[in-house]
Amino acid sequence: MIFVTGEVGVGIGIIYEGRPMLGASGYAGEAGHTIINPTGIQCRCGSTGCWETEVGEEAVIRRTGLEGRRGDEALDEIVGRADEGDGDVVKGLEEVGEWIGLGIGSLINTFNPDLVVLGGFYERIYPWIEGVTVRAALGVALDAPWAATEIRSGQLGADAILAGAAELVIGEVVANPGALQSVRLATTTT
C-alpha cells in the first residue's frame, strides 16, 4: 500500500508486508521532491519541477486562484467554492488531480501496490479530482502493475497520521508482548 498525503508538500508512506518501508536513514517517502515537470517552477528545495510544486498546498491555492490564504482557511474556501460549482476552482482542482495522477502512475510502476490511498487535504478534494487522477495514473502506469492497483480516498481525515503512528506501536506490542514486559522490568529496577 502507498499512502500519499498532501500538506505543505507531498509525502508518501509505503507499507510492505504489513510494515512501513523507512529506507536506510528513515527518509523513504520524500516523493514530493521527485521531478515531475522539468519545465515547472522552482521548488523550495532548489530543484525545478518537483511534484510538490504541482500538487502541494501552494500549488492548489495558486491553481484555484485563492492566493493570500493558507492552511485550513484556504482549504475550507476551496471546498466551499467547489461545492458551489465555482468553475475556476473546479478547473484548478482538476489540474492538480492530473499532476497527482501522473505522480501516482510512476509510483505504481515502481512499487506495484495493491492500493494507493490519498490522504491529507487530498482526501477533502478527492470528489473533484478522482476521475482525472485515475485517468492520469492510468496513462502513465504500465498494464501489469496497474491491473492489481486501486486508488481511493482516505477515510480518517486529520487523524490518519496519528492512527498510523498508534498502529505501529500497538502492532509491535501485539507481535512481541514480552518485549514490553522486559522494558517495564528494566525501568523499574534502575
Q: What is the pLDDT of residues 76-112, one digit of tens each?
A: 999 999 999 999 999 999 999 999 999 999 999 999 9
Q: What percent of the chain has pLDDT over 90?
A: 70
* DSSP type of residue 33: G
pLDDT beyond 90 at 138:
yes
| pLDDT band (50, 70, 90) for residue 8 | confident
pLDDT of residue 122: 95
**Which pairs with CB-CB distance under 8 Å and at least 24 residues apart come from 137-144?**
137/101, 137/102, 137/104, 137/105, 137/108, 138/101, 138/105, 139/101, 139/102, 139/105, 140/101, 140/102, 140/104, 140/105, 140/106, 140/108, 140/109, 141/104, 141/105, 141/108, 141/109, 142/108, 142/109, 144/112
Per DSSP, the three-state class of 50 is strand
pLDDT of residue 161: 54
pLDDT of residue 179: 64
Q: Compare 10 and 164 and report the one with higher pLDDT.
A: 10
pLDDT of residue 72: 86
Residue extents of the structural domains in the chain:
2-155, 160-190
Across the chain, mean pLDDT equals 87
Fold topology of 2-155: Nucleotidyltransferase; domain 5 (3.30.420)
pTM: 0.82
